[in-house]
Structure 1
Amino acid sequence: MRSVAINVAANTNEPGVRGPLFSDGSFEYVPIPEAEPTHTDATVPTYADLDLTTDVPEDYRSHPVHLDPEFAAYPGCDRYTYGDPNGVKAAPILDLAAGDYLLFYATLATDGDRPDWAPPEWGAFLIGQFRLARDPLTGEQYRELPADAEARAAFANNAHVKRDPFDARVLVHGDPDASGLYDTAVPLSDSSTGSQANAVVTALSADSGKGPWWRRPLRFEPDATDRVLTLDPADAARLSGR
Structure 2
Amino acid sequence: MSKGSVDDCMSEENQGSKVLLIGIGADGTNTKPLPPIYDDGTFEYVPIPETQTGTAEPMTYVNWGFAYQDTTAASYFRRIRPSKDEEWIQGDELDNHPFHRDPNFEALTFGDKKGDNGTGRALKKLRQGDVLGFYAGLQNEGRKHRYVIGHFTVNNVIDLEHHRGERQAELLNESPNNAHSLRFQGEGESKHDDVVIIDGTDPGGLLSRALQISSYDRFGSSQYYLTDDFAGEFCVRGHDPDGAEKDNKEWLGFKDPLWCDITPEKFRSKTPELR
- Specify the TM-score bucket, using the shorter chain as the normaliser: 0.7 to 0.9
**Quick check: 2:225–2:251 contact (8 Å CA) kept in 1?**
no
The C-alpha deviation readout for 1:148-188, integer Å capped at 9, x for no partner, is 96x6544112111122332251001010x211111111111
Change (3 A) 1:105 1:43: closer
Correspondence 1:219 to 2:259: yes
Partner of 1:122: 144
Please identify, of 212-221 and 21-30, the stretch whose mean Cα deviation from structure 2 is larger: 212-221
Please identify, of 181-190 and 159-168, the stretch whose mean Cα deviation from structure 2 is larger: 159-168
Q: What is the aligned length?
A: 213
Correspondence 1:105 to 2:135: yes
Match of 1:169 among 161, 177, 195: 195
SS in 1 for 2:137: strand
Deviation at 1:37, TM superposition (A): 4.3
User: How many percent of aligned residue pairs carry the same amino acid?
Assistant: 26
1:195-214 matches, within 5 Å, as: 195-199=224-228, 201-203=230-232, 204-207=235-238, 208=246, 209-213=249-253
**Quick check: 2:57–2:98 contact (8 Å CA) kept in 1?**
no
Stretches of structure 2 that go unaligned for 5 or more consecutive residues are: 1-16, 80-89, 239-245
Partner of 1:139: 160
**Quick check: 2:57–2:99 contact (8 Å CA) kept in 1?**
no
TM-score normalised by length of structure 1? 0.77
Deviation at 1:141, TM superposition (A): 5.8
Q: Distance in 1 between matches of 2:168 and 2:254?
A: 38
The C-alpha deviation readout for 1:178-218, integer Å capped at 9, x for no partner, is 11111111111248688232135533111444334352110
**What is the RMSD of the two structures over their aligned residues, measured on CA atoms?**
2.7
Deviation at 1:19, TM superposition (A): 1.2
Correspondence 1:56 to 2:77: yes
Answer with 1 or 2: which has the greater Rg.
2
Q: Distance in 1 between matches of 2:54 and 2:37?
A: 31
Stretches of structure 1 that go unaligned for 5 or more consecutive residues are: 73-78, 112-119, 234-242
TM-score normalised by length of structure 2? 0.68
